[in-house]
C-alpha cells in the first residue's frame, strides 16, 4: 500500500485509527478461555467489531510469542483473517526488530514473505544495514522508532550531540537517506505533545505511527494539533482502551462503541483541518 | 547462572566460546532436508558435536521466526535439548528485543518463563523501563547492545554528546544503575578492536558477549588483548564458521574440529593471561 492509498483509505473511512491487538489471555473475557484458540477467537470478534472504524491493525508480536508455538499460530491466523476479510487494512507487526544484515533479512522474510504484512516496527540503534533489509520486499514499510511514548524515551533518545541535535532527530534525518516516504514511517509517542512540532520540522511529509493515546495518557487533540500534515500523516494507535473496553460477554459491542467514538473524534479533526470534502 | 558460575565453567572447559545457532535451511547439509524437522535435526547434531568445547549457545530467534510456527517448534525443541542434555551451558536468545514496560514483560515471559533461557539480548533505544522487565525472573540476564559488529554501528552508537561521551558509553554507564554485573552483559562486536579498551573503562567487571569473530572478520587475539578481565569477562560467539564448516554428510565432525580449534586457541589465551592454574 502506498502513502497515497493509505490517505485515500483515511478519507473514505474518516478515520486514522490503528487498533492494537495486544491480546493477553489474562485480560480477555473469561468466557473465551474455553475456545480452542482463545487469542484468535478474541481477535476475530474484535476485528469484525472495529474494522469499519479503523484503517490499520497492529498486532504486537510480544503478546503472541509469550505463548510459544500456540501464540505464533494465533498471530498467523489473525493476520490471514484480516488479509482475507478486510483487504483495505494496513497491517503492522509491532515487533521492534533490527539486527545485522543477514539477520534482519531473516526477520524481513518472517514478516513480509511468510506473513504478508504491510509494515514492521524497527529499532534504529544498529543503523543502516540493520534497517535496509526490511525494504527488499516490494511495497514493504519500515516504521522506525524515533521518540517513543515511555518514560525511558528520555534516557537516550533526547541526548543532544555537539551541535544540539537530539538522537531522535538524528535518527529521522539520517534514515531519510535510506528510503523515501512511501516506505518509511516513524514511531512518535502521543505522550510527547509539543515535540510533534520538532518531529514535523525533521519529517514534514512522513506518516507517523502514534502509540500512547488512551491507557498511556496521550491526547489525540495535541497529536493532531502539532502533528497533522496535508495527507493526514498520522496513524494513531489505541490498544487497551478499545480491545479491553469491557470483559463481559458484551465485549464486542463495547469495543465497537469505543472504536466508533474515536473515529468520530478523528472525523471532526480531519474536517477541522480541511482534509475531508 | 551467576557470573562466578559462568567463570567456573570457563575454567573447567578452558573455553569461553559461545556457539551461535543461526540455522538456515538454505545452508544446512541437503541430506537433512528429508528429516521431519530439519532445523532441530541439524541443531541436535551440532550441539552434540560442540558441547565439549563451548560454554554457551546462542540461537538467533530471527532464523526460527522466519519459518513461522515450524520455526518456533524447532527453537523450543533446541532449547529443551540443551537444557536436558547439557545443563552447564548458558543459553542466550539472540532476539534484540525491547519495548514499553508491559510489552517487555511479555517478551520476558517468552524467554524466561516459557523457554527457560538464561539470557536475552536487548536493544537500549527505549531506555530503562524497556529493559528492567527482563530482570524480574530470578537469575535472568539482560545482554544489552552497546557497540555492535556491523557497519551501521557507526550511524548512531558513536555519536558524541556535548561532553564528548559517545552513545555506547552512555548506554553502558546509564544501564549500570539498572542491574548489577551478575545480571547484565554488553554486546560488543569483535570488529571493534581497540575500542575494547574504552569499553573496559566504562565496564571493567562485566561480561561482554562478542559476536563478529570469524565470518564477520573480527580477531580473537585483539578481543582478548583489549577485553579480557580477571574473570575472563568474555563470551566470544562464532556461528557460521563453526556450524557451516562443511555441508557434506561429515558436517558434525567438521563442526567439532572447528569448535575444538577455537577452544584450543582460547585455552592458550586463558593460560597466557593467568586464568588457568
d(CA B63, nearest CA chain A) in Å: 6
By C-alpha distance, the chain B residue nearest A175 is B155
Residue B4 pLDDT more than 80? yes
By C-alpha distance, the chain B residue nearest A121 is B99
**Mean pLDDT value across residues A230-256:** 96
Q: What local confidence, expressed as pLDDT, does residue A115 receive?
A: 86
pLDDT tens, residue by residue, B86-143: 999 999 999 999 988 889 999 899 899 888 999 999 999 999 999 999 999 999 999 9
Cβ contact B174–A156 (<8 Å): yes
**Mean pLDDT value across residues B261-277:** 96
Instruction: Report the distance separating Cα A185 and Cα A172, nearest Å.
Output: 9
Which long-range contacts link B241-248 to residues 24+ away (Cβ below 8 Å)? B241/B213, B241/B214, B241/B215, B242/B19, B242/B20, B242/B46, B242/B50, B242/B214, B243/B19, B243/B20, B243/B21, B243/B22, B243/B23, B243/B42, B243/B46, B244/B27, B244/B28, B247/B27, B247/B28, B247/B29, B247/B30, B248/B29
Neighbours of B274 (CB within 10 A): 8
Q: What local confidence, expressed as pLDDT, does residue B274 receive?
A: 97
pTM: 0.94
Q: Which of B224, B237, B177 is nearest to B203 (CA)?
A: B177
SS3 category, A22:
coil
Which among B113, B128, B155 has the least Cβ separation from residue A127?
B155
**How would residue A2 be classed by pLDDT, with cut points 50, 70 and 90?**
very high
Cβ contact A106–B131 (<8 Å): no
By C-alpha distance, the chain B residue nearest A128 is B152
pLDDT tens, residue by residue, B111-125: 998 889 999 999 999
**B178 in A contact zone (CB under 8 Å):** no
**How would residue B216 be classed by pLDDT, with cut points 50, 70 and 90?**
confident
Q: Count CB pairs under 8 A between chains A and B.
A: 185
B96 included as an active-site residue = yes
Q: Which of B183, B170, B20 is nearest to B108 (CA)?
A: B183
pLDDT tens, residue by residue, B155-213: 999 999 999 999 999 999 999 999 999 999 999 999 888 899 999 999 999 999 999 88
Q: What local confidence, expressed as pLDDT, does residue A44 receive?
A: 98
Active-site residue numbers of A? 96
pLDDT tens, residue by residue, A136-173: 999 999 999 999 999 999 999 999 999 999 999 999 99
**How would residue A194 be classed by pLDDT, with cut points 50, 70 and 90?**
confident
**How would residue A214 be classed by pLDDT, with cut points 50, 70 and 90?**
confident
Cβ contact B167–A159 (<8 Å): yes
Q: What local confidence, expressed as pLDDT, does residue A192 receive?
A: 82
**A216 in B contact zone (CB under 8 Å):** yes
Report yes or no: B114 and B88 within 8 Å, Cβ to Cβ: no
Q: Is B277 exposed, middle or buried (0-12, 13-18, 19+ CB in 10 A)?
A: exposed
Q: What local confidence, expressed as pLDDT, does residue A35 receive?
A: 96
Amino acid at each position: 500500500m502506498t502513502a497515497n492509498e493509505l490517505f485515500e483509505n483515511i478519507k473514505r473511512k474518516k478515520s486514522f485509527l490503528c487498533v492494537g491487538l495486544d491480546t493477553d489471555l489474562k485480560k480477555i473475557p473469561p468466557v473465551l478461555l474455553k475456545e480452542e484458540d482463545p487469542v484468535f477467537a478474541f481477535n476475530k470478534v474484535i476485528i469484525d467489531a472495529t474494522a469499519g472504524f479503523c484503517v490499520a491493525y497492529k498486532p504486537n508480536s510480544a503478546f503472541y510469542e509469550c505463548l510459544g508455538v500456540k501464540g505464533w499460530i494465533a498471530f498467523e491466523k489473525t493476520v490471514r483473517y484480516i488479509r482475507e476479510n478486510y483487504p483495505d487494512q494496513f497491517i503492522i507487526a509491532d515487533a521492534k526488530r533490527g539486527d545485522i544484515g543477514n539477520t534482519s533479512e531473516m526477520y524481513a522474510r518472517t514478516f513480509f514473505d511468510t506473513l504478508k504484512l504491510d509494515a514492521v516496527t524497527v529499532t534504529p540503534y544498529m543503523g543502516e544495514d540493520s534497517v535496509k533489509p526490511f525494504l527488499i520486499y516490494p511495497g514493504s514499510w519500515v516504521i522506525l522508532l524515533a521518540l517513543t511514548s515511555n518514560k525511558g524515551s528520555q534516557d537516550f533518545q533526547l541526548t543532544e550531540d555537539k551541535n544540539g541535535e537530539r538522537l531522535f532527530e538524528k535518527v529521522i534525518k539520517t534514515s531519510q537517506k535510506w528510503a523515501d516516504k512511501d516506505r518509511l514511517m516513524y514511531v512518535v509517542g502521543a505522550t510527547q505533545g509539543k515535540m510533534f512540532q520538532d518531529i514535523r520540522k525533521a519529517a514534514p511529509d512522513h506518516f507517523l505511527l502514534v502509540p500512547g493515546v488512551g491507557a498511556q495518557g496521550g491526547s489525540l487533540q495535541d497529536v493532531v494539533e502539532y502533528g497533522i500534515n496535508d495527507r493526514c500523516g498520522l496513524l494513531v494507535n489505541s490498544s487497551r482502551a478499545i480491545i479491553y473496553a469491557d470483559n463481559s460477554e458484551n465485549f464486542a459491542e463495547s469495543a465497537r462503541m469505543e472504536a466508533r467514538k474515536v473515529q468520530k473524534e478523528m472525523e471532526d479533526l480531519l474536517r477541522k483541518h480541511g482534509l475531508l470534502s
